[in-house]
Structure 1
Amino acid sequence: MDIEFLVKVIGVYVATLCFAILINVPPRALNLGGLVGVASYLVYLTYNSIFGGYVGGNVFGAFTIGILGMLAARYKKMPIIVFNIPALVPLVPGGQAYEVMKYIATGNTHLAFVYLMQVAMIAGALAIGFLLAELAIQLFFHVTHLLKSFVS
């Protein structure tokens, strides 16, 4: 196993955990929230290594957060937002947002606009990933409800 990969995974776990502590997530949800964050980042890295591109990776990463966050919320009997918000931290386009501000401050509006478009595309990709996860969850529950009523 590559040491750089292991450092990234541990860093994502710690960052997710620290942000969860910062926003007062209950202690019994911390570990599972960190694991949801790591799983979503692994999906993001896998997508990027196979297909390239940060937008698709963020869609699938957010989809993973949506699905695993729902499973974690049901398992711990807690609100889903307790798991989704901290797990989103590794996918947030903070570096690109910093570059936007830097290039605006230095007067390089062309590069600022390029990075602003990246931030907008990543934010949209995250929203689409959460939307698709919610759609998949609702569809799953609807189909299982139909099957239960059909069998009964």
Structure 2
Amino acid sequence: MVILEHLMTSFIAAAAFGIIFNAPRQSLFKCGIVGMLGWIIYMIMYLNDMDAVLATLLASFVVAVISQVFAKMYKTPVIIFSVAGIIPLVPGGLAYDAMRNFVQNDYNAAINLAAKSFMISGAIAIGLIFSEVINQIIRNARLNAGARRMR
């Protein structure tokens, strides 16, 4: 039952942010799917005792790959799927807890939470960038192979 709640919540969050970011109406369901898959990857890794930062890195990489596939399939910009799909992975609650601890003068806990929040945010960025770099390498290899055949 808990897994179903996670599936539904992550789907709704990603689709709702698609609405907020003015994604085309026909892509909202796909945005929800991307966010849901990213969150499930994260949850599977995290529940199997993987560090939250590494689980987030893997999940954001998967979100970026699926976003690129959907963008190509549906002839839509990648950013529509990747931004909405990343939303469930953003460490908003962790950042909130860090700020709350700062306000309550519990600096040790605040710094630990803030550091973890920054690392998770960095893992999201690295996952997105790594996916795009691999995509560019593959695209350039295909272009070069096609150019060699033309000679």
TM-score range normalised by the length of the shorter chain: over 0.9
CA RMSD of superposed structures (Å)? 1.4
The number of aligned residues is 150
1:34 maps to: 32
Q: How far apart are the structure 1 equivalents of 2:138 and 2:21?
A: 31
Residue 107 of structure 1 and its aligned partner are, at CA, apart by 1.0
1:87 maps to: 85
Moved more, 140-149 or 85-94: 140-149
Q: Give the secondary structure class of the aligned counterpart of 1:24.
A: coil
Residue 51 of structure 1 and its aligned partner are, at CA, apart by 4.4
Letter of the 1:9 counterpart: L
Moved over 4 A (4+): none
Q: How far apart are the structure 1 equivalents of 2:51 and 2:149?
A: 45
2:44 aligns with one of 43, 46, 61: 46
TM-score norm. by structure 1 comes to 0.92
1:149 maps to: 147
Residue 50 of structure 1 and its aligned partner are, at CA, apart by 3.1
Question: What are structure 2's unaligned runs of at least 5 residues?
Answer: none
Q: How far apart are the structure 2 equivalents of 1:94 and 1:57?
A: 16
Q: Give the secondary structure class of the aligned counterpart of 1:78.
A: coil
Pair 1:136-2:134 in alignment: yes
Map 1:11-22; keep pairs closer than 5 Å.
11-22=9-20
Q: Give the secondary structure class of the aligned counterpart of 1:120.
A: helix
Q: How far apart are the structure 2 equivalents of 1:60 and 1:52?
A: 11
Residue 143 of structure 1 and its aligned partner are, at CA, apart by 2.0
Q: How far apart are the structure 1 equivalents of 2:75 and 2:140?
A: 21
TM-score norm. by structure 2 comes to 0.92
1:23 maps to: 21
Q: How far apart are the structure 1 equivalents of 2:43 and 2:97?
A: 22
1:117 maps to: 115
